[in-house]
Amino acid sequence: MMGAMRSRDLWLLGLLMLGACDDGGGGAEPTVLADGGAFAGAGACPANTSTCVGQEYRVCVGGRFVAQATCGADETCVPGTGCAGCDPGMPTFCEADQVIVCGADGRRGGVIETCDKGCANGACVGGCIEGNELIYVVDSDDDLHTFDPRTAQFQRRGRLACPAGAAWRDFGGGAASPFSMAVDRTGHAYVLYTSGELFRVDTQTLACVRTDFTPGDGGFELFGMGFVSDSPGRPEETLFIVGGRADDLGAGVLARVDLSTLRVVPVGPMPAAEYGAELTGNANAELFAYRPGGQSAVARLNRAQGGESMRWDLPQNREQPTAWAFAHWGGRYFVFITTRALGGDDTARVLRFDPNDGSTVTAADDTGRRVVGAGVSTCAPVVSNF
Protein backbone atom coordinates (compact mmCIF):
# COMPACT_ATOMS: atom_id res chain seq x y z
CA MET A 1 0.00 0.00 0.00
CA MET A 2 1.57 2.97 -0.73
CA GLY A 3 -0.95 1.53 0.60
CA ALA A 4 -1.07 -2.00 1.61
CA MET A 5 -3.59 -4.61 2.40
CA ARG A 6 -4.49 -7.77 3.96
CA SER A 7 -6.45 -10.98 3.89
CA ARG A 8 -8.87 -11.79 6.66
CA ASP A 9 -11.08 -14.82 6.97
CA LEU A 10 -12.50 -13.79 10.31
CA TRP A 11 -14.60 -16.89 10.87
CA LEU A 12 -17.54 -14.76 11.93
CA LEU A 13 -20.29 -16.06 9.64
CA GLY A 14 -23.62 -15.01 11.02
CA LEU A 15 -22.38 -11.52 11.89
CA LEU A 16 -24.03 -8.95 9.63
CA MET A 17 -22.98 -5.34 9.44
CA LEU A 18 -25.68 -2.69 9.66
CA GLY A 19 -26.42 -0.39 6.75
CA ALA A 20 -25.88 -0.65 3.01
CA CYS A 21 -23.08 0.39 0.68
CA ASP A 22 -24.35 3.30 -1.39
CA ASP A 23 -22.85 3.47 -4.88
CA GLY A 24 -22.48 7.06 -5.97
CA GLY A 25 -23.68 8.51 -2.67
CA GLY A 26 -22.22 11.78 -1.51
CA GLY A 27 -20.46 11.95 1.85
CA ALA A 28 -20.80 14.48 4.62
CA GLU A 29 -18.58 17.54 4.42
CA PRO A 30 -15.63 17.47 6.82
CA THR A 31 -15.77 18.97 10.30
CA VAL A 32 -12.72 19.74 12.39
CA LEU A 33 -11.49 17.50 15.19
CA ALA A 34 -10.03 18.81 18.42
CA ASP A 35 -6.49 18.57 17.05
CA GLY A 36 -7.33 20.62 13.97
CA GLY A 37 -8.04 17.73 11.64
CA ALA A 38 -11.36 17.18 9.91
CA PHE A 39 -14.13 14.69 10.46
CA ALA A 40 -16.75 13.93 7.83
CA GLY A 41 -19.62 13.07 10.13
CA ALA A 42 -22.12 14.56 12.52
CA GLY A 43 -21.24 17.38 14.90
CA ALA A 44 -20.36 21.04 14.75
CA CYS A 45 -17.00 22.37 13.63
CA PRO A 46 -15.01 24.76 15.86
CA ALA A 47 -15.38 28.43 14.94
CA ASN A 48 -12.89 29.98 12.49
CA THR A 49 -11.45 26.66 11.33
CA SER A 50 -11.32 26.08 7.59
CA THR A 51 -11.17 23.38 4.94
CA CYS A 52 -11.06 22.93 1.18
CA VAL A 53 -13.53 20.94 -0.90
CA GLY A 54 -12.02 20.78 -4.34
CA GLN A 55 -11.22 24.39 -5.26
CA GLU A 56 -13.79 25.82 -2.83
CA TYR A 57 -12.44 27.42 0.36
CA ARG A 58 -14.77 27.03 3.37
CA VAL A 59 -14.68 28.57 6.86
CA CYS A 60 -16.59 27.32 9.92
CA VAL A 61 -19.37 29.75 10.81
CA GLY A 62 -22.00 28.87 13.39
CA GLY A 63 -20.86 25.27 13.56
CA ARG A 64 -21.00 24.65 9.79
CA PHE A 65 -18.54 25.15 6.96
CA VAL A 66 -19.57 28.02 4.69
CA ALA A 67 -18.06 28.67 1.24
CA GLN A 68 -15.91 31.81 1.19
CA ALA A 69 -14.18 31.65 -2.19
CA THR A 70 -13.71 29.52 -5.28
CA CYS A 71 -10.09 29.43 -6.38
CA GLY A 72 -9.13 30.04 -9.98
CA ALA A 73 -7.56 27.55 -12.37
CA ASP A 74 -4.07 28.89 -11.64
CA GLU A 75 -4.60 28.85 -7.86
CA THR A 76 -4.54 26.21 -5.14
CA CYS A 77 -7.01 25.98 -2.26
CA VAL A 78 -5.08 25.74 1.03
CA PRO A 79 -6.82 25.15 4.42
CA GLY A 80 -6.07 28.03 6.79
CA THR A 81 -4.87 30.23 3.93
CA GLY A 82 -7.48 30.31 1.17
CA CYS A 83 -6.62 30.69 -2.50
CA ALA A 84 -2.87 30.78 -3.09
CA GLY A 85 -0.41 30.52 -5.93
CA CYS A 86 0.80 27.19 -4.55
CA ASP A 87 0.46 24.98 -1.49
CA PRO A 88 3.04 26.01 1.17
CA GLY A 89 2.74 22.49 2.59
CA MET A 90 4.73 21.36 -0.47
CA PRO A 91 7.97 23.37 -0.64
CA THR A 92 8.39 22.49 -4.31
CA PHE A 93 5.95 21.75 -7.12
CA CYS A 94 6.04 20.83 -10.81
CA GLU A 95 5.18 22.92 -13.80
CA ALA A 96 5.85 21.06 -17.07
CA ASP A 97 9.43 19.75 -16.61
CA GLN A 98 10.47 22.37 -14.06
CA VAL A 99 10.70 22.18 -10.28
CA ILE A 100 9.49 25.44 -8.72
CA VAL A 101 9.75 26.72 -5.15
CA CYS A 102 6.60 27.44 -3.14
CA GLY A 103 7.06 30.04 -0.41
CA ALA A 104 5.74 29.71 3.13
CA ASP A 105 3.19 32.41 2.25
CA GLY A 106 1.82 30.41 -0.70
CA ARG A 107 3.57 32.53 -3.34
CA ARG A 108 5.33 30.99 -6.30
CA GLY A 109 9.10 31.21 -6.25
CA GLY A 110 11.75 30.60 -8.87
CA VAL A 111 12.71 27.54 -10.89
CA ILE A 112 15.29 25.46 -9.05
CA GLU A 113 15.71 22.59 -11.53
CA THR A 114 14.78 21.56 -15.05
CA CYS A 115 14.23 17.80 -15.30
CA ASP A 116 15.58 15.53 -18.05
CA LYS A 117 13.04 12.75 -17.47
CA GLY A 118 10.04 14.78 -16.39
CA CYS A 119 8.78 16.24 -13.12
CA ALA A 120 6.33 14.62 -10.68
CA ASN A 121 5.26 15.38 -7.12
CA GLY A 122 7.60 18.35 -6.81
CA ALA A 123 10.77 16.57 -7.89
CA CYS A 124 12.50 15.30 -11.00
CA VAL A 125 11.47 11.78 -11.91
CA GLY A 126 14.06 9.26 -10.85
CA GLY A 127 14.29 5.89 -9.15
CA CYS A 128 10.90 4.77 -10.44
CA ILE A 129 10.74 1.88 -12.88
CA GLU A 130 8.22 1.91 -15.70
CA GLY A 131 4.80 0.76 -14.52
CA ASN A 132 5.61 1.35 -10.86
CA GLU A 133 3.01 4.13 -10.74
CA LEU A 134 0.18 1.57 -10.85
CA ILE A 135 -1.45 -0.22 -7.92
CA TYR A 136 -0.28 -3.79 -7.28
CA VAL A 137 -2.59 -6.36 -5.69
CA VAL A 138 -2.25 -9.97 -4.59
CA ASP A 139 -5.27 -12.27 -4.35
CA SER A 140 -6.14 -15.37 -2.33
CA ASP A 141 -4.80 -17.57 -5.16
CA ASP A 142 -1.35 -15.98 -4.64
CA ASP A 143 -1.62 -14.23 -8.02
CA LEU A 144 -0.01 -10.81 -8.39
CA HIS A 145 -1.82 -8.26 -10.57
CA THR A 146 -1.52 -4.62 -11.48
CA PHE A 147 -4.64 -2.47 -11.23
CA ASP A 148 -4.93 0.65 -13.37
CA PRO A 149 -7.22 3.15 -11.59
CA ARG A 150 -7.90 5.01 -14.85
CA THR A 151 -9.49 1.99 -16.52
CA ALA A 152 -10.36 -0.11 -13.43
CA GLN A 153 -8.68 -3.05 -15.16
CA PHE A 154 -6.55 -5.80 -13.61
CA GLN A 155 -3.60 -7.38 -15.40
CA ARG A 156 -2.15 -10.60 -14.06
CA ARG A 157 1.63 -10.67 -13.61
CA GLY A 158 2.03 -14.20 -12.29
CA ARG A 159 1.85 -16.37 -9.19
CA LEU A 160 3.91 -15.83 -6.05
CA ALA A 161 5.90 -18.77 -4.75
CA CYS A 162 7.25 -17.47 -1.43
CA PRO A 163 8.36 -20.33 0.90
CA ALA A 164 6.20 -19.35 3.87
CA GLY A 165 5.69 -21.59 6.89
CA ALA A 166 2.51 -22.29 8.85
CA ALA A 167 0.04 -19.51 9.69
CA TRP A 168 -0.29 -18.20 13.23
CA ARG A 169 -2.42 -20.60 15.28
CA ASP A 170 -4.69 -17.70 16.27
CA PHE A 171 -5.29 -17.06 12.58
CA GLY A 172 -6.42 -20.55 11.68
CA GLY A 173 -3.09 -22.39 11.43
CA GLY A 174 -2.42 -24.45 8.32
CA ALA A 175 -0.52 -23.23 5.27
CA ALA A 176 0.24 -19.50 5.33
CA SER A 177 -1.09 -17.13 2.67
CA PRO A 178 -0.49 -13.43 1.84
CA PHE A 179 -1.99 -11.04 4.37
CA SER A 180 -0.86 -7.55 3.34
CA MET A 181 1.47 -5.82 0.89
CA ALA A 182 3.36 -2.58 0.30
CA VAL A 183 5.40 -1.48 -2.74
CA ASP A 184 8.51 0.70 -2.69
CA ARG A 185 9.85 3.08 -5.35
CA THR A 186 12.25 0.49 -6.78
CA GLY A 187 9.46 -1.88 -7.79
CA HIS A 188 9.76 -4.31 -4.88
CA ALA A 189 6.72 -5.54 -2.99
CA TYR A 190 6.96 -6.35 0.70
CA VAL A 191 4.47 -9.15 1.28
CA LEU A 192 3.44 -10.23 4.78
CA TYR A 193 2.16 -13.79 5.12
CA THR A 194 -0.23 -15.08 7.78
CA SER A 195 2.81 -16.81 9.31
CA GLY A 196 4.17 -13.38 10.23
CA GLU A 197 7.03 -13.75 7.73
CA LEU A 198 7.88 -10.76 5.55
CA PHE A 199 9.06 -11.42 1.96
CA ARG A 200 10.54 -9.04 -0.62
CA VAL A 201 9.20 -9.68 -4.13
CA ASP A 202 10.48 -8.25 -7.40
CA THR A 203 7.31 -7.07 -9.16
CA GLN A 204 8.90 -7.66 -12.58
CA THR A 205 10.37 -11.15 -12.16
CA LEU A 206 8.31 -12.25 -9.10
CA ALA A 207 11.52 -13.49 -7.46
CA CYS A 208 10.73 -13.86 -3.74
CA VAL A 209 13.25 -13.54 -0.91
CA ARG A 210 12.51 -13.96 2.81
CA THR A 211 13.69 -10.90 4.75
CA ASP A 212 15.35 -10.96 8.17
CA PHE A 213 12.17 -9.61 9.77
CA THR A 214 11.39 -11.55 12.97
CA PRO A 215 7.74 -12.69 13.00
CA GLY A 216 5.91 -11.06 15.89
CA ASP A 217 8.64 -8.46 16.50
CA GLY A 218 7.36 -5.88 18.97
CA GLY A 219 4.07 -7.76 19.27
CA PHE A 220 3.25 -7.23 15.58
CA GLU A 221 2.14 -10.69 14.50
CA LEU A 222 0.00 -9.40 11.60
CA PHE A 223 -0.34 -5.89 10.19
CA GLY A 224 -1.36 -3.69 7.30
CA MET A 225 1.39 -1.57 5.74
CA GLY A 226 2.26 1.16 3.29
CA PHE A 227 5.18 3.29 2.13
CA VAL A 228 4.99 7.08 2.50
CA SER A 229 7.44 9.80 1.45
CA ASP A 230 9.42 11.30 4.31
CA SER A 231 8.78 14.81 2.96
CA PRO A 232 6.63 16.09 0.09
CA GLY A 233 8.01 15.28 -3.34
CA ARG A 234 11.22 13.63 -2.14
CA PRO A 235 12.32 10.05 -2.96
CA GLU A 236 13.13 9.07 0.64
CA GLU A 237 10.33 6.94 2.12
CA THR A 238 9.37 4.96 5.23
CA LEU A 239 7.42 1.72 5.65
CA PHE A 240 4.62 2.18 8.21
CA ILE A 241 2.61 -0.69 9.68
CA VAL A 242 -0.52 -0.98 11.83
CA GLY A 243 -1.60 -4.11 13.64
CA GLY A 244 -0.71 -6.35 16.58
CA ARG A 245 -1.77 -9.77 17.80
CA ALA A 246 -3.31 -12.07 15.21
CA ASP A 247 -6.40 -12.58 17.39
CA ASP A 248 -7.03 -8.89 18.15
CA LEU A 249 -6.17 -6.76 15.12
CA GLY A 250 -8.87 -4.21 15.94
CA ALA A 251 -6.73 -2.98 18.83
CA GLY A 252 -4.01 -1.86 16.44
CA VAL A 253 -0.85 0.17 17.05
CA LEU A 254 0.94 2.34 14.48
CA ALA A 255 4.64 1.66 13.97
CA ARG A 256 7.33 1.86 11.33
CA VAL A 257 9.81 -0.74 10.14
CA ASP A 258 13.47 0.26 10.03
CA LEU A 259 14.44 -1.38 6.74
CA SER A 260 18.14 -1.25 7.62
CA THR A 261 17.57 -3.54 10.62
CA LEU A 262 14.08 -4.95 9.89
CA ARG A 263 13.05 -4.04 13.44
CA VAL A 264 9.70 -2.53 14.45
CA VAL A 265 9.73 0.99 15.92
CA PRO A 266 6.42 1.78 17.69
CA VAL A 267 4.83 5.17 16.95
CA GLY A 268 1.55 5.32 18.87
CA PRO A 269 -1.90 3.81 19.48
CA MET A 270 -4.78 3.70 17.03
CA PRO A 271 -8.51 3.99 17.79
CA ALA A 272 -10.09 0.63 18.63
CA ALA A 273 -12.20 -0.85 15.82
CA GLU A 274 -14.10 -4.02 15.00
CA TYR A 275 -11.65 -4.91 12.20
CA GLY A 276 -7.96 -4.25 11.65
CA ALA A 277 -6.90 -1.31 9.49
CA GLU A 278 -5.02 -1.15 6.21
CA LEU A 279 -2.54 1.58 5.22
CA THR A 280 -1.51 3.55 2.16
CA GLY A 281 0.82 6.51 1.70
CA ASN A 282 1.66 9.04 -0.99
CA ALA A 283 4.35 11.36 -2.28
CA ASN A 284 2.86 14.25 -0.28
CA ALA A 285 4.17 12.57 2.89
CA GLU A 286 0.61 11.69 3.97
CA LEU A 287 -0.37 8.39 5.57
CA PHE A 288 -3.93 7.01 5.44
CA ALA A 289 -5.81 4.07 6.95
CA TYR A 290 -8.96 2.21 5.94
CA ARG A 291 -11.15 -0.04 8.05
CA PRO A 292 -14.34 -1.87 6.96
CA GLY A 293 -17.49 -2.87 8.78
CA GLY A 294 -20.22 -0.96 10.54
CA GLN A 295 -17.74 1.85 11.24
CA SER A 296 -16.20 1.85 7.77
CA ALA A 297 -13.93 4.88 7.32
CA VAL A 298 -10.85 6.38 5.72
CA ALA A 299 -8.58 8.41 8.01
CA ARG A 300 -5.43 10.48 7.68
CA LEU A 301 -2.97 9.48 10.40
CA ASN A 302 -0.48 11.35 12.54
CA ARG A 303 2.81 9.79 11.44
CA ALA A 304 4.69 11.11 14.47
CA GLN A 305 2.32 10.11 17.28
CA GLY A 306 -0.32 7.76 15.88
CA GLY A 307 -4.05 8.36 15.92
CA GLU A 308 -6.24 10.14 13.39
CA SER A 309 -5.99 13.78 12.32
CA MET A 310 -8.82 13.59 9.76
CA ARG A 311 -11.55 11.04 9.14
CA TRP A 312 -14.24 10.40 6.53
CA ASP A 313 -17.11 7.99 7.20
CA LEU A 314 -17.79 5.58 4.33
CA PRO A 315 -20.97 3.62 3.62
CA GLN A 316 -21.25 0.73 6.05
CA ASN A 317 -20.76 -2.85 4.92
CA ARG A 318 -24.09 -4.68 4.92
CA GLU A 319 -22.39 -8.07 4.60
CA GLN A 320 -19.44 -9.58 6.44
CA PRO A 321 -16.04 -8.38 5.16
CA THR A 322 -13.72 -11.35 4.58
CA ALA A 323 -10.83 -9.63 2.79
CA TRP A 324 -9.89 -6.01 2.14
CA ALA A 325 -7.07 -3.91 0.75
CA PHE A 326 -6.49 -0.19 0.28
CA ALA A 327 -4.41 2.10 -1.96
CA HIS A 328 -4.14 5.78 -2.85
CA TRP A 329 -3.87 6.95 -6.45
CA GLY A 330 -4.23 10.41 -7.95
CA GLY A 331 -5.91 11.97 -4.91
CA ARG A 332 -8.52 9.20 -4.61
CA TYR A 333 -8.61 6.03 -2.53
CA PHE A 334 -9.35 2.53 -3.78
CA VAL A 335 -10.83 -0.13 -1.53
CA PHE A 336 -10.57 -3.74 -2.70
CA ILE A 337 -13.16 -5.54 -0.60
CA THR A 338 -14.71 -8.99 -0.53
CA THR A 339 -17.90 -9.54 1.49
CA ARG A 340 -20.01 -12.59 2.28
CA ALA A 341 -23.74 -12.77 2.91
CA LEU A 342 -24.97 -15.09 5.64
CA GLY A 343 -24.83 -18.58 4.15
CA GLY A 344 -23.92 -17.11 0.76
CA ASP A 345 -20.96 -16.69 -1.56
CA ASP A 346 -18.22 -14.07 -1.61
CA THR A 347 -18.66 -10.93 -3.67
CA ALA A 348 -15.51 -9.00 -4.63
CA ARG A 349 -15.48 -5.44 -5.91
CA VAL A 350 -13.44 -2.25 -5.99
CA LEU A 351 -14.74 0.97 -4.42
CA ARG A 352 -13.38 4.45 -5.17
CA PHE A 353 -13.57 7.14 -2.49
CA ASP A 354 -13.04 10.81 -3.40
CA PRO A 355 -12.29 13.04 -0.37
CA ASN A 356 -12.97 16.17 -2.42
CA ASP A 357 -16.71 15.55 -2.45
CA GLY A 358 -17.02 12.63 -0.02
CA SER A 359 -18.45 10.27 -2.66
CA THR A 360 -17.98 6.50 -2.71
CA VAL A 361 -18.69 4.72 -6.00
CA THR A 362 -18.13 1.23 -7.37
CA ALA A 363 -15.12 1.29 -9.71
CA ALA A 364 -15.33 -2.43 -10.55
CA ASP A 365 -18.09 -4.88 -9.61
CA ASP A 366 -18.02 -8.68 -9.24
CA THR A 367 -14.32 -8.85 -10.09
CA GLY A 368 -13.94 -12.50 -9.13
CA ARG A 369 -10.64 -11.63 -7.42
CA ARG A 370 -10.49 -11.95 -3.64
CA VAL A 371 -7.81 -9.32 -3.11
CA VAL A 372 -5.93 -9.78 0.15
CA GLY A 373 -3.18 -7.21 -0.28
CA ALA A 374 -2.55 -4.02 -2.23
CA GLY A 375 0.36 -1.66 -2.51
CA VAL A 376 1.18 1.51 -4.38
CA SER A 377 4.56 3.21 -4.48
CA THR A 378 5.24 6.89 -3.90
CA CYS A 379 5.86 7.07 -7.66
CA ALA A 380 2.07 7.18 -8.11
CA PRO A 381 0.54 10.60 -8.85
CA VAL A 382 -1.06 12.61 -6.07
CA VAL A 383 -3.36 14.47 -8.49
CA SER A 384 -5.28 13.10 -11.47
CA ASN A 385 -8.08 14.29 -13.72
CA PHE A 386 -9.41 10.85 -14.71
Q: What is the residue type of 143?
A: D
Question: pTM to 2 decimals?
Answer: 0.72
pLDDT of residue 262: 93
Helix (H, G, I), strand (E, B), or coil: what is residue 35?
Answer: coil
pLDDT of residue 34 exceeding 50, the answer is: no
pLDDT of residue 342: 82
375: which residues sit within 8 A by CB, 6+ positions away? Answer: 1, 2, 3, 4, 5, 135, 136, 137, 181, 182, 183, 189, 190, 225, 226, 227, 327
pLDDT of residue 33 exceeding 70, the answer is: no
pLDDT band for position 7 (cuts 50, 70, 90): very low
351: which residues sit within 8 A by CB, 6+ positions away? Answer: 21, 314, 334, 335, 337, 360, 361, 362, 363
Higher pLDDT, 96 or 168: 168
Q: Which of 254, 273, 270 is nearest to 4 (CA)?
A: 254
pLDDT band for position 21 (cuts 50, 70, 90): very low
**Least confident interval from 17-26, 269-278, 279-288, 341-350:** 17-26
Mean pLDDT, residues 228-257: 92
pLDDT of residue 89 exceeding 80, the answer is: no
Q: What is the residue type of 29?
A: E
Higher pLDDT, 64 or 123: 64
pLDDT band for position 91 (cuts 50, 70, 90): confident
In terms of CATH architecture, what is 5-25+129-376?
Answer: 5 Propeller (2.115)
Mean pLDDT, residues 185-207: 94
pLDDT of residue 383: 87
Digit-coded pLDDT (tens) for 223-233: 999 999 998 87
pLDDT of residue 61 exceeding 70, the answer is: yes
Mean pLDDT, residues 201-207: 93
Cβ–Cβ < 8 Å for 138, 181: yes
pLDDT of residue 30: 41
Higher pLDDT, 5 or 185: 185
pLDDT of residue 81: 85
> What's the DSSP call for residue 175?
B
pLDDT of residue 121: 63
Higher pLDDT, 181 or 89: 181
**Distance (Å, whole) CA 268 – CA 250:** 14
Average pLDDT, the chain: 85
pLDDT of residue 339: 94
pLDDT of residue 9 exceeding 50, the answer is: no
pLDDT band for position 127 (cuts 50, 70, 90): low
Report H helices in the chain: none
pLDDT of residue 103 exceeding 70, the answer is: yes
Q: Which residues in 57-74 are b (16+ Cβ under 10 Å) and which e?
A: bbbbeeeebeeeeebeee
Mean pLDDT, residues 167-184: 93
The full set of domain ranges for the chain reads 5-25+129-376, 44-124
pLDDT band for position 3 (cuts 50, 70, 90): very low
- For Cα atoms 372, 294, 369, give the angle at the middle one, nearest 5 degrees: 25
